[in-house]
Structure 1
Amino acid sequence: MKSRIFIYLFIFAALLSLYLFVSSNTMLENKDLKIQNLESEVNVLQDSVQKLQLQVFDMQYFSLQNNDDALSYYDHLRLENPSRYISDKLLETNEKKGDNPLVPYEGMESDFKINKIKILNHQWIIADFSDGKYWGELFLRYELKDDMGVDFTMMDHLLYTRSN
C-alpha cells in the first residue's frame, strides 16, 4: 500500500511537472511574440518621430528664432527673446477698444483682434485675426527701433468668406 501511494505521488508529480513545463514554454513563446511585436511598434514609432522632426524643422525654416542672420539685427539691443518681445508688442495693439488698428476690416460679430502670430524674420510677420465668427490673415512689416519701440505696417490682408 505504501508503495502504491509513492507510485501515485510520483505519477502526480511527473504530470504536474509536465504541465508546468508545457505551460511555461507556451508562456515563453507568447512573451517572445509580444516582445517582437513591441520591437516592431518601436521601430514604426521611431520612424514616425523622425518624420515629425523633419516636418518641424521644415516648419521652423521661416522663423526668427532659427534665423541667425535675422537675429543678428537685434544683438545690440540685448534682447533675450526678440520674438517674444515683438509678439507682445503686436498683441498690445489688441488692447485698444474696438477693432485692432492693423486689421483693415470692421468686425461683424464683435471686434477683430489678432490671435496668432508667426514672426518670419527681422522684418515680416504673418498674423491671424478673428471676431469669433469671421477670420483672416495679415502680412505685416515691422521695425524694431533702438529705443525698443516697434512700428507695424500692414502690407497685405485677406478675409476668408464663410461657406454656409
Structure 2
Amino acid sequence: MKSKIYLYLFLFVSLICLYLVVSSGNMTKANAETITRLESKVENLKDSLQRSSLKVLDMQYFSLENNDDALAYFEHLNMNNPAAYVADKLLETNAQKGDNPLVPYEGMQNDFKINKIKVLNHKWILTDFSDGKYWGELLIMYELKDDLGVDFTLIDHLLYTQSN
C-alpha cells in the first residue's frame, strides 16, 4: 500500500514537472516574441524621432535664432532675443483702430490683423494676417535701430481667394 502511494505521488509530481516545463517553454517563446515586437517598435520610434528632428531642423533653417551671421547684427544692442522683440513691435501695429497699417487690403468681415510672425533673419519677416474669414501673407523688411525703434516696410503681399 505504501509503495502504491509513493508511485502515485511520483506520477503526480512527474506530471506537475512536465506541465511546468511545457508552460515555461511556452512563456519563454511568448516573451521572446514580445521582446522582438517591442524592439521593432523601438526601432520604428527611433526612426520616426530622427525624421521629426530633421524636419524641425529643416523648419528652423530660416529663423533668426539659428542664424549666427544675422544675430551678429544685434550684438551691439545686448538683446537676449531680438526675434521676440521685433515680433512684439510688429504685433503692436495691430493695436491701432481699424486694419493693420502694414496690410494693404481693407478687411471684408472684420479688420485685417497680423496673426503669426516668422522672423527670417536680420532684415525680413514673414507674417500671416486675417480678418476671421479671409487671410493672406506679407513679406516685410524691418530695421532695428540703436534706440530700439523698429521701422517696417512692406515688400510684398498676397491675399488668398476663398473657394466655397
Q: What TM-score range do you get, normalising by the shorter chain?
A: over 0.9
Q: Which amino acid aligns with 1:44?
A: N
Mapped partners of 1:108, 1:2: distance in 2: 103
The residue aligned with 2:44 is 44
Q: How does 1:1-164 map to 2 (within 5 A)?
A: 1-164=1-164
Mapped partners of 2:6, 2:135: distance in 1: 88
Mapped partners of 2:108, 2:3: distance in 1: 100
Q: Which amino acid aligns with 1:126?
A: L
Q: CA deviation at 1:55?
A: 1.7
Q: Which amino acid aligns with 1:117?
A: I
Q: Which amino acid aligns with 1:55?
A: K
Aligned length, in residue pairs? 164
Which string of whole-angstrom CA distances, capped at 9 and with x for unpartnered residues, describes residues 35-93 of structure 1? 11111121122112212222222211111001101000000000001111111111111
Q: CA deviation at 1:145?
A: 0.5
Which string of whole-angstrom CA distances, capped at 9 and with x for unpartnered residues, describes residues 8-44 of structure 1? 2221111111111111111111111111111112112
Q: CA deviation at 1:96?
A: 1.5
**Could you say what secondary structure the match of 2:139 adopts?**
strand
Mapped partners of 1:112, 1:158: distance in 2: 13
Q: CA deviation at 1:144?
A: 0.4
Which string of whole-angstrom CA distances, capped at 9 and with x for unpartnered residues, describes residues 104-138 of structure 1? 11111111111111111000000001111111000
Q: Which amino acid aligns with 1:112?
A: F
Q: CA deviation at 1:161?
A: 0.6
Q: Percent same amino acid among aligned pairs?
A: 66
Mapped partners of 1:70, 1:6: distance in 2: 90
Q: Which moved more, 1:83-92 or 1:51-60?
A: 51-60
TM-score relative to the length of structure 1: 0.95
The CA RMSD measured in Å over matched residues stands at: 1.1
Mapped partners of 2:94, 2:12: distance in 1: 84
